[in-house]
Structure 1
Amino acid sequence: MTRADLHTLTGAYAVHALSGRELGEFERHLAVCDACRQEVRELRETAARLAVASSLAPPPTMKDDVLRRIATVRQEPPRLAARETRESHAGPRRRTGRRAVNVALAACVAAAAVCGGAAVWQYRQASDARDTARRSEQRAARAEELTQVLAAPDAHSRSGRMTGGSTGTVVVSRGLDKAVFLASGLPEPPAGRIYQLWFSDGGTMRPAGLLDSSGRSTAAVMSGAVGKASAMGVTVEPAGGSRAPTGDPLVLLAFPSA
């Protein structure tokens, strides 16, 4: 894929429509292309606004309109057996009146159900749109933070092979007091397990966040300040993470010196 081709993928990336090798190539391109990063941010903001705008509250007159129109709909007469027809002659007015009341009550219940159902649907749509917008904003914020570290003037990196043949790279900015970990070819962890990042403070491992991976390239800003850490590691831990490593690290990378 050429550099010109990569510039055309901002829209698909903004709505999470890329996958596999194409996603990995574009994310590497995004780390070095200011124009594409700016376009992705703008597209995500627009998508978030459109999602919120699509959620509309039902008009205040909706319930009154439904109730008014019900009165104009002709009800089909019930089909009665011959015996029921003869018995009905005993009190036609009373039975007709009672039937009309029942029909009216049923209409009111149906109208309430329609209005209530519409309100619930609209509420769910609005809630889903807000959740989507919030997730998009969070992803955009994480991408911005990752880009800041990678583009920092004092950013230095170190790479190493991980257990299983994958590659890991750590990028450290002492000025920002932050570090980013990038992995290529990291397989999905076993069921009920997750990758966890660690800072090494003179040999003492400090939790630095969790890492999602499904076999493709992935990147994450390590949680917490770099501080006096001199290295970082990756382990496989129970879902939810651990306070201390429960096994040997897949990789242990010493932080590059300035």
Structure 2
Amino acid sequence: MSTADLHTLTGAYAAHALERDEREEFERHLAHCPACTQEVAEFTATLARLGSAEAVPVPDGLKLRVMASLDTVRQEPPLGPRPASGPARAGLRRTWPRFALAACLALAATSGGLAVQQHREAEQARARAAAIQQDQERITDLLTAPDARSTSTKVAGGSGVATVVWSHERNAAGFLASEMPPLAQGTTYQLWFADGATMRSAGLMASPTGALLLSGPLDGASGVGVTVEPAGGSLHPTGAPVLLLPVT
């Protein structure tokens, strides 16, 4: 697929509508294309707003009103063969409204739960999109610093590339990666500033591909390392770095 074609996939990627091969190829492109990264963030935020606009909270007291109506509201009989007469029909008349209204109550409760869940997911997506956009703006600022420098290395165990860009004038650094090896469930990549023999945390990677502005100041660090840590990160590295890029 040509680069021009890849530029047209930002909306489909944000909507999770790409096939696996297309998604992986686009993510490789995304790691090196600030314009597409920005557009994906904007599409994601727009989709989140649309989802939030459609979510309707369950009205207060709905369950109480439906339960109170079980013995008073009659349900229209279904179309079809004429119902039986006599005692059987009377029993059906007594029990059918309860079953019908119970089903309506279950449907209302389910719909309300889905609406709340969709609203929560939309808020989370909006927060993620805002964070991505903010990071992109800061990384762009870092890349345009007069003294900006960078170093790259291939990622062991895969075909990806990791890059560190830094600026002493901005006192900041950023990390860009494509196709880092996937991790086992319950683990995450954690970045560190190397201050000689001491490592200080610089943030967690949400995915094996993407860009991250490292948290905390550069403060003369000699390098940036990446380790595999339990989900949520660690106070100190628990293993040897899988990557260590010099910052000079």
Amino acid paired to 1:141? Q
Deviations 1:199-232 (A, max 9, x none): 0123311111223555xx4432222221231211
Do the aligned partners of 2:203 and 2:215 also contact (CA within 8 Å) in 1? yes
Structure-2 change in CA distance of 1:41 and 1:249 (3 Å):
closer
Do the aligned partners of 1:10 and 1:39 also contact (CA within 8 Å) in 2? yes
User: Does 2:74 align with 1:71?
Assistant: yes
Normalised to the residue count of structure 1, the TM-score between the two structures is: 0.68
Deviations 1:219-258 (A, max 9, x none): 32222221231211122334433222233323322213xx
Structure-2 change in CA distance of 1:29 and 1:161 (3 Å):
closer
> What residue is the counterpart of 1:86 in the other structure?
none
Q: Secondary structure at the match of 1:182?
A: strand
User: Does 2:152 align with 1:159?
Assistant: yes
Distance in 1 (CA, whole Å) between partners of 2:93 and 2:178 is 72
> What residue is the counterpart of 1:90 in the other structure?
none
CA offset at residue 78 of structure 1? 7.2
Do the aligned partners of 1:55 and 1:129 also contact (CA within 8 Å) in 2? no
User: Does 2:125 align with 1:132?
Assistant: yes
CA offset at residue 136 of structure 1? 3.1
> What residue is the counterpart of 2:168 in the other structure?
174
What pairs with 1:23-42 in structure 2 (closer than 5 Å)?
A: 23-30=27-34, 33=35, 36=36, 39-42=39-42
Identify the match of residue 213 of structure 2 among 216, 221, 229.
Answer: 221
> What residue is the counterpart of 1:231 in the other structure?
223
User: Considering only CA atoms, is the larger Rg found in Structure 1 or Structure 2?
Assistant: 1
Structure-2 change in CA distance of 1:249 and 1:120 (3 Å):
closer
> What residue is the counterpart of 1:252 in the other structure?
244
Distance in 2 (CA, whole Å) between partners of 1:27 and 1:141 is 16
Deviations 1:18-40 (A, max 9, x none): 5212321233122xx4xx45544
Identify the match of residue 233 of structure 2 among 236, 241, 250.
Answer: 241
Do the aligned partners of 1:9 and 1:26 also contact (CA within 8 Å) in 2? no
> What residue is the counterpart of 2:44 in the other structure?
44
C-alpha RMSD of matched pairs (Å): 4.0
Q: Secondary structure at the match of 1:152?
A: coil
Distance in 1 (CA, whole Å) between partners of 2:126 and 2:85 is 52
Amino acid paired to 1:119? G
Q: Secondary structure at the match of 1:158?
A: strand
CA offset at residue 170 of structure 1? 0.8
User: Does 2:24 align with 1:20?
Assistant: yes
> What residue is the counterpart of 2:9 in the other structure?
9
CA offset at residue 112 of structure 1? 4.8
Structure-2 change in CA distance of 1:223 and 1:106 (3 Å):
same
Distance in 1 (CA, whole Å) between partners of 2:48 and 2:141 is 23
Normalised to the residue count of structure 2, the TM-score between the two structures is: 0.70
User: Does 2:201 align with 1:207?
Assistant: yes
